[in-house]
Amino acid sequence: MISLKQRRHLTVIAEQTNMHKAAEILHITQPALTRSLNTLEGLLNVRLFDRHSGGMRATPFCTEIVDKCQQILLDVEDIQRAARLLHDVEEVLFIDFRLFHCTSGRCYFYLLTKL
């Protein structure tokens, strides 16, 4: 299975067409990025880039899957954003009704909110 990290690496390499520039953007070393790409090519059993002295060019298959990888990465970001928003809403809306106080025949409920 292709990991999210490999998908990210693939999309950045395809955008930059240069391993050194892609590695800088990803904040990893160029040899680590090369290993990641080689692993992905081995996993898929297909060459993803044509390498030449001026850089790299995505193969037609690579171009096709890069679009899909980008969409998956966007979908994952949307899911993470939705989860963060839900967490934030739950934090604000958390109400605890357990505090109950009676004095001189009168009872009071105190709403405690976690902010």
Per residue of the chain (115 residues), give pLDDT as tens.
Answer: 899 999 999 999 999 999 999 999 999 999 999 999 999 999 999 999 998 887 899 999 999 999 999 999 999 999 998 888 876 665 555 545 445 555 555 655 555 544 4
Residue 76 inside a domain? The answer is yes
Q: List the alpha helices (DSSP H) in 2-114.
A: 4-16, 19-26, 30-44, 60-93
Residue 64 inside a domain? The answer is yes
Residue 80 inside a domain? The answer is yes
Domain that holds residue 30: 4-93
Residue 113 inside a domain? The answer is no
* 62: CATH: 1.10.10.10
Residue 13 inside a domain? The answer is yes
Residue 63: which of 76, 54, 50, 77 has the closest Cα?
Answer: 50
Residue 85 inside a domain? The answer is yes
pLDDT at position 106 is 62
CA distance 32 to 4: 16
Q: Token match 């993470």: residue? A: 80
Do 13 and 19 contact (CB within 8 A), yes or no? yes
Beta strand 55-58 pairing with 95-103:
unpaired
- Please give the tally of structural domains in the chain: 1
Rounded to two decimals, the pTM is 0.71
Considering Cα of 36, then 38, then 44, then 46, what sign does the dihedral take? positive
pLDDT at position 113 is 47
Residue 103 inside a domain? The answer is no
Do 14 and 63 contact (CB within 8 A), yes or no? yes
Residue 63 inside a domain? The answer is yes
